[in-house]
């Protein structure tokens, strides 16, 4: 949207009959959020980020934009009469500003965009939200448009955690929180009463691969399935964006690492392909648990 649009009209008008702008990165979650919106009777205006969004989204009448085309983004959302915006999916790289030649809207905002890129992930996302909302749109979260994708509390499948798993769960949760304080990652692994891995810039999958290697080379010794992966939101994180997520591939990698299960923050983490994820966990004998952020080992079932 350009400054010539009356942004107050967008905010004061009811949004329930307007399409929700779905800005889509990579992974399967954007398609699941799209389906959730449609189940609720809401219309979606799909904006696929070039080089990121899945082909399944790009073929659904999506507008495809380069990561740096901020000015054009606002114009197409205004033209579609969008009022609410959802940011969903992963981003593997930061903006390529070679795509903004001729996009005067982006050039005008470039100083603010560059300042946003100077911070960590949380800082970047906060400033991106600010840029969008300054134009009169409202950024909303998954809980507002597809709450069924969020993890519930307690055991989500047939397998339940044991007492030793609950202790590892609480330990990994504390480690993940401390990691989040530094805006580094959202996940940690505890095994046998000690933290053996934390998530860095390489992401959860690479961390789990390291854990599997530690087990294979004998650096971590454990009999049977032991160890818990915990994914949680960062302290003070804006819950509208970048929620931790697990899916079938997470189950596959946790199984390869010899873990007993996975825990995520109830109400604050996404279960991608929920049915397939829980089925895979049950088949593998792994638990998937929705952890209350205030939970102690004595509180879990």
C-beta atoms surrounding 26 within 10 Å: 16
d(CA 178, CA 186): 9
Chain centroid to CA 146: how far? Answer: 13
* pLDDT tens per residue, range 151-172: 999 999 999 999 999 999 999 9
The predicted pLDDT at position 117 comes to: 52
d(CA 58, CA 181): 36
* pLDDT tens per residue, range 273-289: 999 999 999 999 999 99
CB-based burial label for 290 (10 Å; 0-12, 13-18, 19+)? buried
Instruction: Say if residues 116 and 123 touch (Cβ distance below 8 Å).
Output: yes
Among 77-91, 106-120, 216-230, 233-247, which is the least confidently predicted range?
Answer: 106-120
Cα torsion for 231, 234, 237, 242, to the nearest 10°?
-40
Nearest in space to 176 (alpha carbons), one of 265, 75, 51, 86: 265
CB-based burial label for 163 (10 Å; 0-12, 13-18, 19+)? exposed
Residues of the chain above pLDDT 90, percent:
55
Question: For the sheet containing 20-24, what is the strand order?
Answer: 63-65, 44-49, 20-24, 84-88, 138-139
The predicted pLDDT at position 3 comes to: 41
Average pLDDT over residues 114-118: 52
* pLDDT tens per residue, range 178-213: 998 888 889 999 999 999 999 988 889 999 999 999
Helix (H, G, I), strand (E, B) or coil at 191: strand
pTM score, whole prediction = 0.81
Instruction: Map out the domains of the chain with their CATH numbers.
Output: 7-145 (3.40.50.20), 150-291 (3.40.140.80)
d(CA 100, CA 172): 42
Among 119-123, 250-254, 278-282, which is the least confidently predicted range?
Answer: 119-123
The predicted pLDDT at position 94 comes to: 58
């Amino acid at each position: 949207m350009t400054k010539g649009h009356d942004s107050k009209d967008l905010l004061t008008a009811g949004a329930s009959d307007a399409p929700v702008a779905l800005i889509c990165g990579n992974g399967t979650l954007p398609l699941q959020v799209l389906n959730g919106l449609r189940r609720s009777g809401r219309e979606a205006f799909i904006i696929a980020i070039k080089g990121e969004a899945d082909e399944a989204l790009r073929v659904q009448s999506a507008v495809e934009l380069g990561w740096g085309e901020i000015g054009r983004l606002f114009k197409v959302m205004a033209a579609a009469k969008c009022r609410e915006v959802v940011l969903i999916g992963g981003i593997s790289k930061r903006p390529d500003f070679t795509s903004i030649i001729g996009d005067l809207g982006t050039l005008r905002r470039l100083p603010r965009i560059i300042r946003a890129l100077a911070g960590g992930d949380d800082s970047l996302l906060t400033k991106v939200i600010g840029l969008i909302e300054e134009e009169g749109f409202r950024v909303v979260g998954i809980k507002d448009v597809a709450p069924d994708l969020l993890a519930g509390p307690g055991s989500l499948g047939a397998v339940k955690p044991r007492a030793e798993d609950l202790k590892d769960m609480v330990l990994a949760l504390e480690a993940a929180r401390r990691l989040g304080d530094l805006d580094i990652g959202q996940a940690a692994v505890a095994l046998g009463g000690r933290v053996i891995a934390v998530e860095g810039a390489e992401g959860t999958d690479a961390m789990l691969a390291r854990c599997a290697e530690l087990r294979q080379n004998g650096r971590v010794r454990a009999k049977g399935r032991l160890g818990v992966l915990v994914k949680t939101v960062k302290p003070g994180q804006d819950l509208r964006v970048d929620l931790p997520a697990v899916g079938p591939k997470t189950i596959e990698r946790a199984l390869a690492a010899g873990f007993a299960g996975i825990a995520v923050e109830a109400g604050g983490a996404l279960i991608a392909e929920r049915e397939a994820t829980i089925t895979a966990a049950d088949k593998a004998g792994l638990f998937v648990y929705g952890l209350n952020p205030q939970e102690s080992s004595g509180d879990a079932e």
